[in-house]
Structure formats: structure tokens, C-alpha cells
Amino acid sequence: MQILVADDDTITAEVIAHALRKFGYEVTVVHNGLDASELLRTGRYKILISDWQMPGMTGLELCEEIRSRRSGGYIYVILLTSHGGIDNVVCGLEAGADDFLTKPFDPTELLVRVRVGERVLNLESRELMIFALAKLAESRDRETGAHLERMREYARVLADELTKQDAFCNIIDGEYVNLIYLTTPLHDIGKVAIPDHILLKEGSLTETEFEIMKTHTLLGAQTLREVSQHSPCAGFLQMATDIAISHHERFDGTGYPYGISGEDIPLCGRITAVADVYDALTSKRVYKEAYSHRLAKKIILEGAGAAFDSRIVEAFLQREADFISIQETLGDHADVLESHEFDTYEAHKS
């Protein structure tokens, strides 16, 4: 994260820069608002710490100038000021400031306020990124849209239920539940690189076709890693990457792409695996009819300890009513099958 500091007081500017560098940030210092404005146009800086009073362009004028631009991303502005009182706060907010730091400042308080800015920027980045990437996947697969809506709901329900289990209560918190809800729609982003004659094939895949289909996990993870390199605020993409690469791994180690097993599979991948298979089973696809909830439940129970983490299957059972409600609300309402011939290739084509 690169931070721009603008303050005409050289000592104050260097104290801020030193504190931020100590916390691991890259810092550029300028001593007037005009230089700050020019540097902000480069797009390299997402957080600005600016003095209120500066020659040439004040901090308030700089805020107003930033907010008047049609820029490609949000700039989080912290005004450094010795001014007190509600009137000055209102004035700063109206100019476009996001936060205030009063002189003299404490380095710990500075860090806290910068991290608040990072969280705000992260929220903006992830919402936009997820929407764009999910829509990209949707453009290739005519069934993906509703699938994504259901998937994130199923994953959210499972993660929420797991907070009640001792094994997960210290791992999964509200932020984790929110992140998996946001990132699960990206699980199949790699399918954008799968040829149409395989992705949209009606009927069974050949072994060769199935091997190609399996590469969507690697391609998806690669895509998300590359995106994250260009979006340093988008730390949430780590979970999306873990989901993309691991949601077809099996708890017994017979999945793909790496054949890892048990808790070596990221938790978010294990959760997504149950959600993904349930949705694939209960939805109509170009290669299969929809299965009933009863039949899908039977298949998932049979997979506990083998395909799936048994604890996540238990969470599925505890929230069965929620799964039914989501499927009824967001499903395609196709005729369902009560019996099946379960084909390994078809199971992984989801």
C-alpha cells in the first residue's frame, strides 16, 4: 500500500512518514497541495494524509479537487489538523475528507486510522472485482447466474452454522462468513477458458474432455492471483483463490487438481464443495435433470468423510430447511428426479 503525505511542515511530514514506514507502508512526502494533486493523478496512491493548512492549495481545497475528479478509484483522505470543534469537522467532511487526525498525534492512532482506510478501500475493491469477474463467468455459461446466487447463499449458511461447532468457532467469525458469501461466486471463474464444446456439452464427457474440464480450477486460481497482483487492496482475493483451486478436492484425497486431503484442503474450499455439489444435483443442467432435495441429501450423506468433511455435512443437516428455502426461492423450478445413476464425470462437471 502506497501512502501520500502532504504537509508543509517538514518535521511533521517526516515523523508521519517514519511511523508509516515502520508499520510497513511505502510513503511519498510532498510539502504542498499542488504537488500532492499531481501525484494523485498517477493512480499510485489510494490513501492521502494531508495537512489542513498548506501553501498553494489547502487540505480542504485538495479534498474538493479530488472529489470533483472522475477517477478510476476512491482515494481515502485523512486530514491532519490542529483545528477543533464540530464546525471544522463538518467543514472537512463537506470538502470530502474521510477521517481526521489531530496534532499532536500518536503513532498508534495513526496506524488505526490508516487501517480503517484500508478496510474501506478493500470493501470497494472487492465488491467491484467480484461483480466484474462473476459477470465474466456468467457470459460463458447460460446457467451460471442463478447458480452463483444460490452458491453464495448455501456457503453463507454453512459457514454460519460452523461457528457453532467447537472446531471452527475460533476460525470462522462474522468477517469470514461475509467473505465466503462474497467470494464463492468466483469458484468457477476458470471455466471462461474451457472450450464451448466441452463446457456446454450435452451428455457424458470423455476422459480427455474431463481432464480439460478439471483445469478450470488451476486456470481460475491463476486468474485471481494475477488480478490480486494489480489490486493490492484486494486481500479478499486470497480466499477466492483458495476456493477456485480447492473446491473439487475431496476429503479422502481423491479429488483434483492436487489430490490433497483432510484439513490440508482450505476450509473455504471444503465448504464450497458441499454447496457446489448440492446445487449441481438439485439444478437442471445441459447434461442432466434436476434431482430432488431428498436425493441430493442422500448423495451428500453418502459422501461424508470421503468427498466431504463430515463436520460440514453435519452443518448441512442442521440447516437443511435453509437449503430447501434457498433452492425453492432461487431455483429454476424444473421437474426433479427421485432416482439416479451417479456418474463420476457428471458429478465433477458442476
Candidates 4, 108, 9; CA nearest to 55 is 9
- Is the sign of the CA dihedral 76, 124, 74, 46 positive or negative? positive
So what's the pLDDT on residue 88? Answer: 65
Closest CA to 240 of 341, 152, 335, 324: 152
Report the range out of 34-43, 72-81, 237-246 with the highest average pLDDT.
237-246
User: Measured between alpha carbons, how far is 342 from 12 in angstroms, rounded to an integer?
Assistant: 69
| CA neighbor of 17 nearest in space, from 9, 8, 28, 7 | 28
On the question of a cis peptide bond just before residue 104, with omega within 30 degrees of 0, the verdict is yes
Grid coordinates 448440492 are at which residue?
278
Give the least confident one: 1-15, 148-162, 296-310, 330-344: 330-344
102-116 per-position pLDDT tens digit: 887 888 889 998 998
What per-residue confidence (pLDDT) applies to 231? 62
Higher pLDDT, 132 or 294: 294
What confidence tens digit (pLDDT) does each residue in 119-134 have?
A: 878 766 666 667 666 6
